[in-house]
């Protein structure tokens, strides 16, 4: 039986498989977007003085695609007042300082997030579910293999024993917490973002995870924790287009071809050394998406002979990468009206102060002999 944890709004979930990151009709017969998205979204950055900066680094998550350059710049804070913003908080990455589990890192970033970013806007927090990576790992055993070993090793550590503490803090700050067995947080967020857009709202994903770039649109932004600058910073479709000169769906296709070392997804260059980034970018700019590229290669030559042969021989290899890397939007989780209400933040200071006080108490000699932290 599939287990679902929703705090404070429980629900039962079913799953219907589907793996299409772009809406039907997005691409024309030439492999190009039918309608070029209007780039009207302004960049927002929020400076915050960090009383105790986390060592958690996000740069390795966002410099993995074409160019590998950071486009983030400080500009004046600008609010889009035409639509309600709904924030999705990707909790798991915030619970680490580098590769070390850290409740302090969680408290630090959430405190800045509530005080400087989301304010009164609704926030929905999402955790990875138990066995969330199982589906992708069945397709590709190397998927997040290093992370999986680390999580198993650290599951008896402080953060591994403290899921209930984190959930309790968020719940008391009037944030619903979603954790669905058998699903990664990324897929739950992707599904809920679609529902929010259908309701006419904007969505903002708070996460350092580069996988969310494929969801960027005029109505979907990412806000990242930047350790080096000690603040959260917004990343929009306009920044993406300026940085990479391609659409987010093409970025996903590029990652499918070149692989993702962080997530343990091998690229085609491991089996065809001459097929590198330059070739992949050129082909995708012409054909728009991996599926269009593979379909075209099946009926005519699309490039140099080595590239043509590679696409024919390793088509299944690339489609498997696509199934692993594309975010799923088929989790049958329903947005509740209560989740979209303005968040009451009047108790944030008291709740977070109590949380940090608890963390200080845990540093005192003999604390763990006197207290047992529940395993969530």
Q: What is the mean pLDDT of residues 68-77?
A: 39
CATH 1.10.150.20 positions along the chain are: 246-327
Q: What percent of the chain stands above pLDDT 90?
A: 54
So what's the pLDDT on residue 27? 43
pLDDT at 345: 96
The pairing of beta strand 96-97 with beta strand 100-101? antiparallel
Mean pLDDT of the 274-279 span? 92
Residue that wins the pLDDT comparison between 178 and 374: 178
pLDDT at 44 over 90: no
| In the chain, ranges of CATH 3.40.50.1010 domains | 83-245+329-358
**Per-residue pLDDT tens for 173-219?**
999 999 999 999 999 999 999 999 999 999 999 999 989 999 999 99
Average pLDDT in the chain: 78
Average pLDDT over residues 237-244: 88
Q: What is the pLDDT, as a whole number, of residue 366?
A: 54
CATH architecture of the domain formed by 246-327: Orthogonal Bundle (1.10)
For residue 251, name the pLDDT band (cuts at 50, 70, 90): confident
Structure tokens at 33: 């977007």
Residue 77 in tokens: 């804070």
CATH domain 83-245+329-358 topology:
Rossmann fold (3.40.50)
Examine the pLDDT at 311 and tell me if it is beyond 90. Answer: yes
């Amino acid at each position: 039986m599939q287990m679902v944890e929703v705090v404070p709004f429980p629900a039962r979930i079913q799953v219907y498989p589907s793996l299409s990151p772009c809406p039907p009709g997005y691409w024309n017969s030439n492999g190009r977007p039918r309608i070029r998205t209007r780039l009207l979204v302004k960049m927002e950055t929020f400076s915050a003085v960090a009383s105790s900066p986390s060592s958690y680094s996000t740069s390795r998550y966002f410099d993995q695609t074409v160019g590998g350059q950071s486009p983030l710049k400080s500009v004046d804070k600008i609010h889009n007042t035409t639509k309600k913003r709904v924030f999705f908080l990707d909790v798991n990455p915030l619970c680490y300082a580098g590769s070390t589990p850290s409740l302090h890192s969680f408290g630090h970033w959430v405190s800045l997030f509530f005080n400087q970013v989301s304010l009164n806007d609704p926030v929905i927090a999402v955790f990875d579910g138990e066995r969330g990576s199982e589906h992708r790992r069945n397709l590709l055993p190397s998927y997040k293999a290093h992370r999986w070993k680390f999580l198993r090793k650290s599951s008896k550590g402080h953060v591994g024993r403290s899921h209930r503490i984190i959930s309790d803090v968020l719940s008391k700050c009037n944030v619903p917490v979603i954790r669905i067995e058998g699903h990664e947080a990324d897929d739950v967020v992707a599904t809920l973002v679609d529902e929010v857009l259908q309701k006419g709202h904007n969505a903002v994903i708070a996460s350092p995870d580069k996988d969310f770039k494929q969801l960027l649109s005029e109505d979907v932004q990412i806000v990242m924790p930047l350790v080096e600058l000690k603040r959260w910073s917004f990343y929009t479709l306009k920044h993406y287009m300026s940085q990479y000169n391609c659409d987010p769906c093409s970025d996903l296709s590029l990652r499918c071809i070149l692989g993702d070392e962080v997530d343990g997804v091998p690229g085609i260059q491991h089996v065809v050394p001459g097929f590198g980034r330059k070739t992949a970018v050129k082909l995708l700019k012409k054909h728009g998406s991996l599926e269009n590229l593979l379909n075209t290669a099946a009926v005519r030559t699309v490039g140099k002979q080595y590239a043509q042969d590679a696409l024919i021989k390793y088509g299944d290899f690339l489609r498997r990468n696509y199934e692993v890397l594309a975010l799923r939007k088929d989790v049958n989780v329903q947005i509740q009206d209560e989740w979209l209400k303005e968040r009451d933040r009047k108790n944030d200071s008291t709740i977070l102060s109590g949380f940090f006080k608890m963390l200080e108490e845990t540093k005192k000699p003999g604390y763990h002999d006197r207290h047992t932290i529940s395993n969530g």
